[in-house]
Amino acid sequence: MATDVRQDVPLSPEKWRVDFPILDQQIHRQRPLVFLDNAASTQRPNQVIDAMSGAYRQTYANVHRGNHWLSEQSTLQFEAARSAVARFLGSENPREVVFTSGTTAALNLVARAWGEEQLRPGDEILLTEMEHHSNIVPWQQVAARTGAVVRFVPIDAEGRIRPEAVQERLSERTRVFAFAAISNVLATVNPVADFCKLARTRNILTVVDAAQHVPHEPIDVRQWGADLIAFSGHKLLGPTGIGVLYGRFELLDSWPPFLGGGSMIDRVTWDGFTPGEVPARFEAGTPPIVEAIGLHAALDYLGVVGLPAIQQHERRLVEHAIFRLEQEVDGFRLLGPREDRAGIVSFVIDRVHPQDLAIKLDLQGVAIRAGHHCAMPLHEKLGLSASCRASFYLYNTLGEVDYFVDAVGAAVAKLR
């Protein structure tokens, strides 16, 4: 366990980098590794690696159904992880936490378990133009099955979603409003509580994709007022293969199960079955046991570092990166708002293809992302086929930002 720090002291990334063995290496002819692809997936500290290794070495067994010591220990750890997630979100009821394989699975669960039961021809599903494919495709699929219609709230010239634009598109036909708390491309931070309040006055279900929010900024589900929230473990120092669907208990308790099989039942007969209670009803089969234990360790780690400190640190890195890129790289164009943005810098550079730039940076040891970032409609809206994205986290340093900007400048000079 990392040692506690004061939250009013600026975060020192060097203090935490020692916990991340993957960052302590050189690649491509002894170039230092500069990992700036955190919006896609973060790295794992030793505390998470050790927690998962310890579970496999000492206590692993399947959960809930075993009558032996290993199963009891594994079940206790698994359910402790659920309680830790509930506390992290500000929920007083661990049964409001459903473990899934990730944000994508959580959003699909909502679209299938709720959408296929509740939506009718002509009903409207409201999304925004900045959504990740994971919050578009499941709704398009359920719309095709039910006859519902998918509509989008437009972004403005700064890449923001204005509350008045949401208000204009909420209609008497709108049944659900699903939106990202933070754009994975534009770094736009949406006013989640305001959006949820607008929808709640019309009795419209709210679904928040918090994959880019939860690792970086504090969250309190009671303040947000959202019905459902989805996020992934691998974006907040945890393992892949685990995510969370938070939902108000009375809402989840009214839904039928989505997947059938073991664990999600109370009773099965030749003629049918009775579903189990929430959350087991939505966790068919063997769950991500060790992954949940790893997620618990990641949440403990973030609790020590402090999300407010991480948020402030990322803002310093972003402001420094944007300032230097705008000053030193001719043809640089920032995507998204200039101010009040999350720890992501997406951009394009005139006469330089994003893929070419990403390859050149990789040869210098700098890992960024190039492409559409699973947001093709948004890129079409912006008139782009692809963009570059540098994304930061608690272990990134100002020195790495400078190295990245210098590498961009050198690569652009060669590519032109």
Q: What is the pLDDT of residues 359-391, one digit of tens each?
A: 999 999 999 999 999 999 999 999 999 999 999
**Alpha helix segments (H runs only) across 267-306:** 289-305
pLDDT higher than threshold 90 for residue 66: no
Q: Amino acid letter at 324?
A: R
Catalytic residue among 40, 150, 251, 374: 374
The angle, 0 to 180 degrees and rounded to 10, between the axes of the packed helices 289-305 and 307-328 is 80
What tokens does 358 get? 């990403």
Domain with CATH 3.40.640.10 in the chain: 49-303
Q: Are 11 and 343 in contact (CB under 8 A)?
A: no
- Given this model, what pLDDT does residue 1 score? 36
Domain with CATH 3.90.1150.10 in the chain: 13-36+306-415
CATH topology of domain 49-303: Aspartate Aminotransferase; domain 2 (3.40.640)
On the CB side of 74, CA atoms within 13 Å amount to: 24
What tokens does 357 get? 């730039």
Q: pLDDT band at 8, cuts 50/70/90?
A: low
Cα torsion 8, 11, 15, 20 to 10°: value is 130
Ramachandran area for residue 340 (φ above 0: left; ψ -120 to 50: alpha; else beta) = left
Q: Kindly report the backbone phi and psi dihedral angles of residue 17, in degrees, each rounded to the nearest multiple of 5, phi listed first.
A: -60, -30
Q: Are 87 and 256 in contact (CB under 8 A)?
A: no
- pLDDT tens digits for range 252-309: 999 999 999 999 999 999 999 999 999 999 999 999 999 999 999 999 999 999 999 9
What is the second-level CATH architecture of the domain 13-36+306-415?
A: Alpha-Beta Complex (3.90)
For residue 97, give every residue at least 6 positions away whose Cβ sits within 8 Å of its Cβ, in sequence order, or none.
Answer: 82, 85, 86, 89, 91, 244, 245, 246, 279
pLDDT higher than threshold 50 for residue 7: no
pLDDT higher than threshold 90 for residue 401: yes
- pLDDT tens digits for range 176-195: 999 999 999 999 999 999 99
* Residue 374 a catalytic site member: yes
